[in-house]
Amino acid sequence: MKYIFVTGGVVSSLGKGLTAAALGTLLENRGLKVALQKFDPYLNLDPGTMSPFQHGEVYVLDDGAETDLDLGHYERFTSTKLSRRNNTTSGQVYQQVLDNERGGVYLGKTVQVIPHVTDEIQRRITVLAEESKADILITEVGGTVGDIEGLPFLEAIREFAQEAGPGNVCFIHVTYIPFIKAAGELKTKPTQQSVAKLREIGITPNLLVCRCEYPLNKEIRQKLAMFCNVPFEAVIEEKDVDHSIYEVPLMLQRERTDDLVCKVLQIDAPPARMTHWQDIIRKLIAPQHRVRIGVVGKYIELQDAYKSVYEALIHGGIANDCGVQIEQIEAEDVERGDPAKMFKGLGGLLVPGGFGDRGIEGKIKAAQYARENGLPYLGLCLGMQIAVIEFGRNVLGLKGAHSTEFDPHTPHPVIDLQVSQKNVRQLGGTMRLGSQPCLLQPGTLARKLYGADLIHERHRHRFEFNNAYREQYAAAGFTFAGTTPDNSLVEVIELPGHPFFIASQYHPEFLSKPNQPHPLFKGFIAAAHERLHAKPLPLPA
């Protein structure tokens, strides 16, 4: 078993997770089995209770773990299987240590950060390494070197590397090389200081991955090598991508990153075969077709809040050789605006998941516009609940129909708290979470797109379609295209006679990958293209 530890320097938001995932792609394509893990130094047990404004998207795994969005990159870039063990927070570590203390595990001892907290962190590396049966475990340490919170994690990986011995561990430091306009120069000092900080802790990086807006010239590379104590060839340039994040593995390959990692870890593996990946990039850079999609949400100004949704739309495009331009539309603006003007030129509308009532009426207006004008609509989780409310109010004439999440006293609670949620008091980790089975009805568009009767999709919700209204909706043509196998919970709805109006209670975006686009997104982009160009796409077989 070999170990790679990825740390970050100078600033946050450098794309450490993306770099770790992209390296995973390369190593997998060299025939190695890779596992990935993220350490998050905050005290929350998981990001599930954090606002997207704080943290970006909460990424949900099959087992129902609510995790950091970097795990989304891991799943999209590699074939690794993830569970709650793949995301450790300081909160989880401390909870375990305190449970141990109460349980008498440390009887007689003073419980301390070193060794008890650091031992627990190392235990989590070892457990995952053993369970994954991988050749290489890539562990990404969240935060920036120099943060107080991150220290126990850095000390733990230092100790771990010491035990594992030379040739078994590779440290990668992802850093930032700013360009100072007034001087017209790239600057290495922040990186020198960040590496100095790491070395003070006892970690010397084997590779420096340098995030930059301009290419690194030879002098800059020499300077970085000299002052950061790495070989010249271990200074890796990772420039901002021109088109797509899926270019990162190819960029790292050009810099021979995977060769270097294999050299440090004394692994003999053939070069990575990336032809299929190059084909994906080709479709992203020069697609045969193009389409514009509107995403109507409430966290629109935040690039990371709908990460997986945006990625899945791009994947739906790849499947159709169609470039997807995403228009981010603030739901509150739709409340005040004229939808005909706002949605002009769009091939489809997507309403993603969400919590809280801000912008809800704008989303309902968007769903109404899509339904009445034959504009393709894809609703995800809250986006399905919105479609139900809209249909109730405007087709069935259920005045004031709403979700009890937003109006507890609505005369028509068409969306209501799940029965199983009625007595839930704790907020963290208690929603209906993770992979659940769903049975699709014959003859529906959803069934046709999936090409299967039984599917499994990931969930994260507390509210559901209120079954008391099922008959009334069905009589008006509203189609329940998918339910739980016992038929107790509505999972997918659609509108027959509409070119594409599908909404799901689950989050299909979590299962989409560039090389395995999700069927709903694939169908949505095809329908959006047909709407704009009045002719179907020649779908690849």
- Report the residue from 382, 489, 526, 537 that binds ligand GLN according to the rule CB under 6 A: 382
Helix (H) and strand (E) counts in the chain: 19, 23
The candidate with the shortest Cα–Cα distance to 154, out of 259, 291, 9, 287, is 9
3-state secondary structure 231-284: CHHHEEEEECCCCCHHHHHHHHHHCCHHHHHHHHCCCCCCCCCCHHHHHHHHHH
Query: Which residue number, 16 or 460, has a Cβ lying nearer to ligand GLN?
Result: 460
Instruction: Give me 197's structure tokens.
Output: 């900080």
405 binds ligand GLN (CB under 6 A): yes
Q: Specify the residue, 106 or 355, whose C-beta has the smaller distance to ligand GLN.
A: 355
Which of residues 348 and 354 has its CB atom nearest to ligand GLN in the complex?
A: 354
Q: Which stretch binds ligand GLN (CB under 6 A): 16-24, 253-261, 271-279, 347-355?
A: 347-355
Instruction: Give the shortest CB-359-to-ligand GLN separation in angstroms.
Output: 12
Residue 247 binds to ligand GLN (criterion: CB under 6 A): no
Q: How far apart are CA 220 and CA 372, in angstroms?
A: 59
Q: Is 509 a catalytic residue?
A: yes
> Applying CB under 6 A, does 381 fall inside the site for ligand GLN?
yes
Q: Tell me the residue type at 205.
A: P
> What HEC string does 378-444 produce?
EEECHHHHHHHHHHHHHCCCCCCCEECCCCCCCCCEEEEECHHHCCCCCCCCCCEEEEEEEEECCCC
Q: Of 381, 405, 529, 530, which is the active-site residue?
A: 381
Asked if 463 touches ligand GLN (CB under 6 A), the answer is yes
Q: Which pair of structure tokens corresponds to residue 439?
A: 């049975």
The reply to whether 66 sits near ligand GLN by the rule CB under 6 A is no
- Phi first, then psi: what are they for 280, rounded to 5°? -60, -45
Rounded to whole angstroms, the Cα distance separating 36 from 77 reads 11
DSSP letters for 156-221: HHHHHHHHH-TTSEEEEEEEE--EETTTTEE--HHHHHHHHHHHHHT---SEEEEEESS---HHHH
DSSP state letter for 92: H
Long-range contacts of 413-416 (CB under 8 A, 24+ apart): 413/466, 414/388, 414/389, 414/465, 414/466, 414/469, 415/385, 415/388, 415/389, 415/463, 415/464, 415/465, 415/466, 416/463, 416/464, 416/466
Say how many residues make up the chain. Answer: 541
Shortest CB 430 distance to ligand GLN, Å: 11
Distance CA 157, CA 145 (A): 13
Closer Cβ to ligand GLN, 58 or 151, answer by number: 58
Indicate the residue among 376 and 383 with the shorter CB distance to ligand GLN: 383
Q: DSSP letters along 202-218, please?
A: T---SEEEEEESS---H
**Closest separation in Å from C-beta 513 to ligand GLN:** 21
Whole-angstrom Cα distance, residue 372 to residue 369? 5
Of the listed pieces 76-84, 208-216, 240-248, 458-466, which binds ligand GLN according to CB under 6 A?
458-466
Q: Which two tokens stand for residue 106?
A: 């440390």
170 as an active site residue: the answer is no
Closest-by-Cβ residue to ligand GLN is 353
Min dist. Cβ of residue 415 to ligand GLN (A): 7
User: Which of the ranges 226-234, 249-257, 276-284, 457-465 carries the binding residues for ligand GLN, by CB under 6 A?
Assistant: 457-465
- Nearer to ligand GLN by Cβ, of 328 and 404: the residue is 404
Please indicate whether residue 130 is annotated as part of the active site.
Answer: no
Q: Which one of the spans 229-237, 290-298, 459-467, 488-496 is the region binding ligand GLN (CB under 6 A)?
A: 459-467
Closer CB to ligand GLN, residue 260 or residue 382? 382
Q: How far is the CB of 354 from ligand GLN (least distance, A)?
A: 5
Binding region for ligand GLN (CB under 6 A) out of 38-46, 181-189, 190-198, 349-357 = 349-357
Candidates 72, 515, 75; CA nearest to 283 is 515
Cis previous bond, 376, omega within 30: no
**Does 353 interact with ligand GLN (rule: CB under 6 A)?**
yes
Q: Exactly one of 412, 507, 518, 529 is catalytic; name it.
A: 507
Give the interface segment with ligand GLN, choosing from 117-125, 144-152, 255-263, 461-469 (CB under 6 A).
461-469
Residue 106 is a binding residue for ligand GLN (CB under 6 A):
no
CA–CA distance, 415 with 421 (Å, rounded to integer): 13
Examine residue 460 and tell whether it contacts ligand GLN (CB under 6 A).
yes
Total residues contacting ligand GLN by CB under 6 A comes to 10
Q: How far is the CB of 335 from ligand GLN (least distance, A)?
A: 18
Q: Closer CB to ligand GLN, residue 52 or residue 514?
A: 52
- Answer for which of 283, 461, 522, 531 binds ligand GLN (CB under 6 A) is 461
Among 263, 462, 470, 513, binds ligand GLN (CB under 6 A): 462
Strands 348-351 and 289-297: parallel
Provide, rounded to whole angstroms, the least separation between the CB of residue 407 and ligand GLN. Answer: 13
Out of 255, 405, 509, 530, pick the active-site residue.
Answer: 509
Nearer to ligand GLN, 214 or 355 (CB): 355
| Residues of the shown chain interacting with ligand GLN in the complex, contacts defined by CB under 6 A | 353-355, 381-382, 405, 460-463
Catalytically annotated residues? 381, 507, 509
